[in-house]
């Protein structure tokens, strides 16, 4: 009998009416004699509301209690959905992360799943239950509730699929799949039928919101194929995320991603000597501040250098404070920050064997008078940092230039 792990995001279970629609999707699969495990997110808006409440209590809210608090949203959804299935005549059982258990390690707010007791889940599947598990959470080795980062329900689904050796892992969301770019700003965007793990990972880390990047990485490492589908159009074919060797490429570029939650930091007049880069980035690492694009310019006439990098906008204030405290140690002359920037990326496995892609990208932006502030690349991605006001024009321009419509 086929085993499926199905995950429903926050918008899919956003209210009671939608939870009932999700129950109908599950019932259709259960009636086909499939073993079903469902991973659920909190109802849309609930997690943000819980975070707001924590901030109203304290600006230094305990990390351990934070995890207990914000994980409750998924627990509510799992109970509501299980009860809805039971009401419709389906055998269902909710299993919280500590009941499975789903064991994690690492810091609170950003833990990592290391083991799942599949026997406890299989025990109910063997009795023809639909098992409903709250995503985003686990239990630490110290028996404390833990969470695995915002959007972590995707990672929960992939981890459970791996543990059960499931035949399929389906991610239901509010869109019909992965698109060549955001259809909200580019009407010509098309749904991608198949995309490789590597490409999806680059798209996700570059701003595409369909799936969390860590869940894609986990799926790639464990060869768990993912099907992204729409909760609101469940009969339509979505996007299949799988190994590159199972895809035939007909386009050099697969998609255009963008992010508008970046901030640029430039440190001017840093002494050009060994250890300076480490002195800059170690304190940021210690505070779990993720650094993305990095550029260093060395002056030909002095022993000084300028260092530019990007962080997420909500880390900007903390980054600035840290660097100001390090000014005497680093000996830099000036610190410049800018939140009005956007990262635009083109992604495609085809660019490995096709020369001239960077020129084509840069030239098309230049023709639209869009200035490039920072550039970073990988084998299958080219990213540029530009002024945020030009983000939409840049996305539309690159989507058209690379003939993705």
Clarify whether residues 268 and 389 are in a common domain.
yes
Region 204-221: mean pLDDT is: 84
- Residue 108 lies inside a defined structural domain of this protein: yes
Q: Which of 135-149, 168-182, 267-281 has the lowest mean pLDDT?
A: 267-281
Asked whether the bond before 101 is cis by omega within 30 degrees of 0, the reply is yes
Q: What is the pLDDT of residue 249?
A: 73
Condensed to tens digits (0 to 9), the pLDDT of residues 98-120 reads 999 999 999 898 899 999 999 99
pLDDT greater than 70 at residue 301: no
Residue that is last in its domain, among 152, 174, 196: 174
- Region 157-171 average pLDDT: 95
Specify the pLDDT at position 403: 92
User: Are 260 and 168 members of one domain?
Assistant: no
Residue 299 clears pLDDT 80, i.e. is over it: no
Shared domain check, 276 and 156: no
Residue 196 belongs to a domain:
no
pLDDT at 198: 93
Q: What is the pLDDT of residues 321-374, one digit of tens each?
A: 999 988 888 888 899 999 999 999 999 988 888 889 999 999 999 999 999 999
Instruction: Note whether residue 217 is domain-resident.
Output: no
**Average pLDDT of the chain, as a whole number:** 92
Residue 270: what pLDDT? 86
State the total domains in the chain: 2
Instruction: Tell me which residue range forms the domain holding 298.
Output: 256-401
Last residue of a domain, one of 174, 206, 221: 174
Residue 311 lies in a domain: yes
User: Is residue 8 domain-shared with residue 157, that is, in the same domain?
Assistant: yes
The CATH number linked to 157 is: 3.40.1160.10
Judge if 12 and 130 occupy the same domain.
yes
> Average pLDDT of 198-216?
86
Please tell me which residue, 41 or 297, carries the higher pLDDT value.
41
Q: How confident is the model at residue 303 (pLDDT cuts 50, 70, 90)?
A: confident
Same domain? For 293 and 396 the reply is yes
At 14-46, the pLDDT tens digits run 999 999 999 999 999 988 889 999 999 999 999
Last residue of a domain, one of 148, 174, 200: 174
Q: Which pLDDT belongs to residue 351? A: 87
Query: Is 26 inside a domain boundary?
Result: yes
Same domain, residue pair 263 and 139: no
pLDDT at 149 over 90: no
In-domain check, residue 232: no
Q: What is the pLDDT of residue 274?
A: 83
Confidence of residue 233 (pLDDT cuts 50, 70, 90): confident
Q: CATH number of the domain at 331, please.
A: 3.30.2130.10
pLDDT given for residue 150 in this prediction:
73
Beta bridge partners of 296: 307
Domain identity same for 152 and 273: no
Asked whether residue 248 carries a pLDDT value surpassing 80, the answer given is: no
pLDDT above 70 for 193: yes
Q: Taking residues 203-219, what's their average pLDDT?
A: 84
Q: Kindly state whether residue 220 falls inside one of the protein's structural domains.
A: no
Has residue 83 been placed in a domain?
yes
User: Same structural domain for residues 160 and 263?
Assistant: no
């Amino acid at each position: 009998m086929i085993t499926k792990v199905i995950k429903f995001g926050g918008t899919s279970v956003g209210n009671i009416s939608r939870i009932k629609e999700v129950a109908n999707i599950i019932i259709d699969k259960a009636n086909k004699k499939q073993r079903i495990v469902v991973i659920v997110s909190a109802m849309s808006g609930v997690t943000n509301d819980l975070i707001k409440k924590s901030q109203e209590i304290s600006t230094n809210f305990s990390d351990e209690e934070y995890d207990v608090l914000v994980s409750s949203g998924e627990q509510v959804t799992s109970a509501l959905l299980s009860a809805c299935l039971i009401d419709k005549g389906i055998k269902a059982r909710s299993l919280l992360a500590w009941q499975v258990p789903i064991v994690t390690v690492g810091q609170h707010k950003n833990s990592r799943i290391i083991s799942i007791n599949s026997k406890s889940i299989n025990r109910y599947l063997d009795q023809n239950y639909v098992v409903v598990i709250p995503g985003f959470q686990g239990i630490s080795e110290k028996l404390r509730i833990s969470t695995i980062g915002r959007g972590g329900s995707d990672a929960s689904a992939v981890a459970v699929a791996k543990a059960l050796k499931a035949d399929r892992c389906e991610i239901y969301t509010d869109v019909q799949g992965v698109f060549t770019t955001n259809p909200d700003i580019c009407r010509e965007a098309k749904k991608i039928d198949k995309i490789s793990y590597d490409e999806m990972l680059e798209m996700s880390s570059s701003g595409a919101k369909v799936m969390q990047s860590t869940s894609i990485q986990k799926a790639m490492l464990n060869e768990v194929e993912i099907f992204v589908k729409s909760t609101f159009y469940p009969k339509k074919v979505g996007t299949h995320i799988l190994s590159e060797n199972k895809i035939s490429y007909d386009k050099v570029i697969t998609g255009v991603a963008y992010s508008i939650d970046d901030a640029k930091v430039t440190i001017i007049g840093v002494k050009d000597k060994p250890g300076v880069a480490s002195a800059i980035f170690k304190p940021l690492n210690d505070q779990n501040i993720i650094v993305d694009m990095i550029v260093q310019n060395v002056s030909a006439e002095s022993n000084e250098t300028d260092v530019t990098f990007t962080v997420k906008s909500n880390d900007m204030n903390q980054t600035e404070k840290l660097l100001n405290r390090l000014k005497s140690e680093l000996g830099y002359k000036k610190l410049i920050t800018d939140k009005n920037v956007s990262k635009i990326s083109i992604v495609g496995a085809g660019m490995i064997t096709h020369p001239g892609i960077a020129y084509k990208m840069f030239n098309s932006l230049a023709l639209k008078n869009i200035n490039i502030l920072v550039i970073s690349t990988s084998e299958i991605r080219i990213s540029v940092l530009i002024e945020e006001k030009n983000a939409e024009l840049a996305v539309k321009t690159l989507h058209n230039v690379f003939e993705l419509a």
